[in-house]
């Protein structure tokens, strides 16, 4: 991202916050997350994150001010919300009092929110539904952040949508009208037609499954939904990869695999209830081997991934699966000496606690 034009920026005074103390907190977080410190002087700190800059500046009415910069208004909003989330955790009263120099108009839709219309839902094999979402301008959904949050009103309530609070944070409707906000992957984006393909894994009790199945049956009550994003990680430019995923990560894995550099090598491990017979279309490049695991036969993604790690030292490891499994893989890999920068291990869903 170095050299990116971060021409959208904003500052917000941090009342009562000491520059030196906040500098140490940001530097510790930057180190833990492997971020680059671009500037660190007496009164200026600038750190580059995956999607923009954060830092500290002298405040106008306080000793320190938070600074964010990004390439467009959407990412600026995301950066502001990331700072607010941290501040809410550290000093909630400061987060509440913050006012950004380019303040959004309170009550408006967040800049990274847009409405989309479901154009089509089709079955994609026995356990996936492919939903085509159509919007007005989906150009922000590029290769550097391939996920988004679906904003799905509940079945039987008048739809209500997110807004912006005085401190620039996103506000969500609460109570019976609160929308469901699961994260999904843009399997493909057609910038001419302004469409996103989203592949929904059909599972028991899923509210997104229910929505997509209703549309498949021609029930159009929730044909208009919202999208917040883009967000999350992007494609991987790596010559040697170890990729492991259950169904929730298949769309992301498929998109990453089809964009790996020519000649890439490594291994792909995919887990589904009945293994390969889930028939999800996923093309694995020639230099990579593919293993299918079957949950029905008791095979487990985390166990197979951990067994494969030692054979792929130096690779970029990408894992998408159940949260507890992801934690096990991340912690074991770190203990085995894997660098944080070579690990993209994510919990894509969370199993319901056992009764
Ligand atoms: C970055 C990212 C990208 C993702 N991309 C995709 C994608 O492209 N396609 C996709 O299908 N999913 C994807 N997911 C996973 C998806 O967000 C979760 O599965 C989410 O919980 C789905 O919500 P829901 O409405 O289906 O279920 P909810 O209504 O939220 O949950 C209902 C119940 O279903 C359970 N549940 C949730 N997921 C699963 C599962 N996979 N298997 C079994 N039970 C489950 C929950 O524990 C809960 O008990 C992604 C997640 C992340 C973080």
Q: Residues 160-219: pLDDT tens digits?
A: 999 999 999 999 999 999 999 999 999 999 999 999 999 999 999 999 999 999 999 999
Burial 311-325 (b: 16+ CB within 10 A, else e): ebeebbbbbbbbeeb
Rounded-to-integer distance, Cα 143 and Cα 100, Å: 29
Q: Are residues 57 and 124 in the same domain?
A: no
Q: Are residues 266 and 286 in the same domain?
A: yes
Check pLDDT > 70 for residue 2. no
Tell me the sheet residues that pair with 56.
45, 66
pLDDT at 104: 64
What's the gap in Å between 230 CA and the centre of ligand 1?
A: 17
pLDDT at 302: 98
Question: Which helix (H) or strand (E) covers residue 148, if one does?
Answer: strand 147-151
Q: Is residue 94 a contact partner of residue 29, using CB atoms and an 8 Å limit?
A: no
Rounded-to-integer distance, Cα 286 and Cα 20, Å: 52
Parallel/antiparallel/unpaired status of strands 163-164 and 240-245: unpaired
Which one-letter DSSP state was computed for residue 178? P
CATH number, domain with residue 163 = 2.40.30.10
Q: Are residues 244 and 338 in the same domain?
A: yes
CA atoms within 13 A on the CB side of 34: 7
What's the gap in Å between 350 CA and the centre of ligand 1?
A: 8
Burial 98-123 (b: 16+ CB within 10 A, else e): bebeeebeeeebbbbbbebebeebee
Which residue from 180, 206, 247, 318 has its CB within 8 A of the most atoms of ligand 1, so it is best to mutate? 206
- Which residue, 186, 211, 231, sits at the end of a domain? 231
Ligand 1 atom 5 nearest Cα: 184
Nearest ligand 1 atom, CA 251: 8
Q: Are residues 117 and 225 in the same domain?
A: yes
Parallel/antiparallel/unpaired status of strands 128-134 and 113-123: antiparallel
pLDDT at 3: 59
Per-residue model confidence as pLDDT tens digits over 21-42:
999 999 999 998 889 999 999 8
What's the gap in Å between 249 CA and the centre of ligand 1?
A: 10
Tell me the sheet residues that pair with 46.
39, 55
Mean pLDDT of the chain: 95
**Average pLDDT of 337-348?**
94
Ligand 1 site residues, Cβ closer than 6 angstroms: 147, 180, 182-185, 199-201, 203, 205-209, 232, 247-248, 251-252, 348-352
Which one-letter DSSP state was computed for residue 283? P
Q: Is residue 252 a contact partner of residue 274, using CB atoms and an 8 Å limit?
A: no
Rounded-to-integer distance, Cα 100 and Cα 69, Å: 12
Report the SS3 class of residue 136: coil
Q: Are residues 245 and 201 in the same domain?
A: no
Concatenate the DSSP letters of all residues of 241-264 into one string.
Answer: EEEEE-GGGHHHHHHHHTTSPTT-
What's the gap in Å between 207 CA and the centre of ligand 1?
A: 9
pLDDT at 102: 87
Q: Is residue 346 a contact partner of residue 319, using CB atoms and an 8 Å limit?
A: yes
Which one-letter DSSP state was computed for residue 207? H
Nearest ligand 1 atom, CA 183: 17
Ligand 1 atom 37 nearest Cα: 349
Rounded-to-integer distance, Cα 167 and Cα 88, Å: 11
Parallel/antiparallel/unpaired status of strands 195-201 and 36-40: unpaired
What's the gap in Å between 349 CA and the centre of ligand 1?
A: 5
Q: Is residue 208 a contact partner of residue 200, using CB atoms and an 8 Å limit?
A: yes
CATH number, domain with residue 344 = 3.40.50.80
Question: Which helix (H) or strand (E) covers residue 349, if one does?
Answer: strand 343-349
Burial 15-38 (b: 16+ CB within 10 A, else e): bebebeebbeebeeebeeeebeee
What's the gap in Å between 123 CA and the centre of ligand 1?
A: 18
Q: Domain range spanning residue 199?
A: 113-231
Tell me the sheet residues that pair with 10.
68
pLDDT at 80: 94
Q: Are residues 170 and 246 in the same domain?
A: no
What's the gap in Å between 101 CA and the centre of ligand 1?
A: 37
Q: How many domains does the chain have?
A: 3
The contacts of residue 192 (CB under 8 Å, 6+ apart) are none
Nearest ligand 1 atom, CA 351: 47
> Per the domain annotation, does 3 fall within a domain?
no
- Which residue, 212, 231, 250, sits at the end of a domain? 231
Q: Are residues 128 and 81 in the same domain?
A: no
Nearest ligand 1 atom, CA 128: 11
Check pLDDT > 80 for residue 103. no
pLDDT at 4: 73
What's the gap in Å between 85 CA and the centre of ligand 1?
A: 23
Which residue from 130, 248, 355 has its CB within 8 A of the most atoms of ligand 1, so it is best to mutate? 248
Check pLDDT > 90 for residue 1. no
Report the SS3 class of residue 315: coil
What's the gap in Å between 147 CA and the centre of ligand 1?
A: 13
- Which residue, 198, 231, 264, sits at the end of a domain? 231
């Amino acid at each position: 991202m170095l050299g990116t034009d971060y021409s959208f920026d904003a500052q917000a005074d941090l009342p009562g916050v000491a520059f030196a103390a906040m500098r140490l907190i940001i530097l510790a977080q930057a180190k833990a997350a492997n971020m680059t410190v671009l500037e660190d002087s007496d009164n200026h700190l600038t750190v580059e994150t995956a999607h923009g800059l954060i830092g500290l500046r002298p405040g106008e009415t306080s000793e320190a001010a938070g600074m964010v910069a990004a390439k467009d208004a959407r990412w600026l909003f995301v950066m502001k919300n990331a700072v607010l989330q941290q501040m809410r955790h550290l000093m909630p009263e400061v987060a509440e009092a913050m006012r950004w120099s380019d303040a959004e108009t309170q009550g408006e839709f967040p800049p990274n929110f847009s409405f989309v219309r479901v154009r089509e839902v089709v079955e994609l094999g026995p356990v996936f539904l492919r939903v085509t979402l159509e919007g007005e301008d989906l150009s922000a959904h590029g290769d550097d952040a391939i996920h988004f949050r679906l904003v799905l009103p509940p079945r039987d309530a008048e739809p209500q949508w997110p807004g912006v609070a005085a401190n620039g944070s996103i506000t969500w409707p609460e109570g019976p009208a609160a929308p469901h906000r699961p994260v999904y992957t843009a399997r493909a984006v057609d910038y001419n037609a302004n469409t996103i393909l989203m592949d929904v894994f059909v599972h028991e009790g899923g509210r997104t499954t229910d929505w997509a199945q209703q549309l498949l049956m021609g029930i159009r009550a929730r044909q208009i939904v919202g999208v917040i994003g883009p967000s999350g990680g992007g494609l991987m430019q790596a010559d040697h990869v170890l990729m492991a995923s259950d169904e929730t990560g298949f769309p992301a894995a498929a998109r990453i695999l089809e964009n790996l550099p020519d000649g890439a090598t490594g291994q792909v491990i995919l887990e589904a209830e009945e293994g390969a017979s889930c028939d999800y279309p996923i093309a694995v490049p020639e230099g990579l081997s593919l293993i299918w695991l079957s949950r029905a036969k008791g095979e487990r993604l985390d166990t197979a991934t951990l067994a494969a790690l030692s054979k792929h030292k130096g690779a970029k490891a990408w894992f998408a699966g159940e949260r507890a499994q992801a934690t096990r893989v991340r912690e074991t890999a770190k203990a085995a000496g894997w660098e944080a920068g070579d690990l993209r291990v994510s919990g894509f869903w969370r199993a319901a606690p056992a009764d």
